[in-house]
Amino acid sequence: MRWNSQKKVARNRICHQPRLEALEVRWCPSVTSSIQNGALTVTGDAANDAVRIIENGARVTVQSGGHSQTFNAVQSLNVDLGGGNNRVTLDVSGRFDQATNISVTGGDGNDQANINLHNIRGSGAVSLNADMGDGNDQVRVTTSGMAAQTNLTVNVDAGDGNDRVTLALGRTPRGGTENVTANLGAGNDMLTVGARGAGANATLNLTVDAGDGDDRVNVGLGADARGGTSNVSVNLGDGDDTLRAALAGAVLNDNFQFTLDAGDGDDRVAVAFGGTARGAVADIALNLGAGNDSLQLAGAGVNANADFSLSVDGGDGTDSARFRLSATAAALVDVSNFEQQSGLTGNHHHEDDEGDDRGEHDD
């Protein structure tokens, strides 16, 4: 009996041995959202975050990790994804009756941003600032379907690294203004710009700074509507850069300006522009800077009643140029500092360091 009693006691001790209980499983999102006084902030962490944001006027929905949250009465949006290789998709549309600022910060890492601005209307100006930080980033910004009188500002800073940036710009709406800036930073970057031009009485301002590095820039500009204005400035920075620009030309009563500063380095530049119509103002200035540069320049006809200016400067170095210009454009071009050139006849097309023959072509 004594043996059985001891066995029973041992069994009881085993049955009452303390154990750890499992805690409730809780979701800890890597992307959090909060709003205060109309300012919505979306914040990531050091991990590889992925977030989709849909902004329809003052209503914003944030989706990440299979979860979704919607905010109303949003007046500004600030997205900071932090470190890591992040991905953000931002879709902006709807009516904006007050000025709205949208900021996207990618932080360090190889980030991807796909931003779509479409069907925006209302009296409030919309401003987008995308700062992707250092890393090999990929950015695409698309604009389309803007209502008349819309004012839009887009600033893209890709930061240092080998970046890929695409700007697909729809027509600047009638009576509206579109200010677009792309800064690529240091690195071997690639930029592709496609713009449909400015609508009637609208203004498109496009500024590109490729920064240091061996960059490739492709620019395609559609024709403005009658009375439109397009001002385009491209700075390739230092490095052995490549530029290809296809310019549709200037229509009736159009105002068009294209300025290139290729910077130091052995650059390759190809520019083609369409015709210049009656009453249009067109000013094209190409400066290739120091280095052994090459230029291919093609241009269509210029109406006798147009205000047309075309100047080309090879800068320091051993430079070459090949021209394929209409007779009217060739008669107006100023060329300087090219050691080799073809396609132009007559010494009056060459401007040396001692003189300027520009007056010979005045009509």
pLDDT tens per residue, range 234-254 = 999 999 999 999 999 999 999
pLDDT digits 0-9 by tens, 97-156 = 999 999 999 989 999 999 999 999 999 999 999 999 999 999 999 999 999 999 999 999
| pLDDT at position 262 over 90 | yes
- Over residues 217-243, the mean pLDDT reads 97
pLDDT digits 0-9 by tens, 18-31 = 544 433 333 346 89
Determine the distance from the C-alpha atom of residue 4 to the mean position of all C-alpha atoms in its chain, rounded to a whole number.
Answer: 85
pLDDT of residue 8: 46
Residues 6+ apart with CB under 8 A from 211: 183, 184, 185, 186, 187, 189, 237
The neighbour count for residue 22, using CB atoms within 10 Å, is 5
The neighbour count for residue 274, using CB atoms within 10 Å, is 19
Question: Which residue reads 């700007």 in tokens?
Answer: 167
Residue type, 336: S
Sequence ranges of the domains in the chain: 46-361
Identify any residues that bridge with 131 across adjacent strands, giving them in sequence order.
Answer: 105, 157
pLDDT of residue 59: 97
| pTM, to two decimals | 0.88
pLDDT digits 0-9 by tens, 57-98 = 999 999 998 999 999 999 999 999 998 999 999 999 999 999
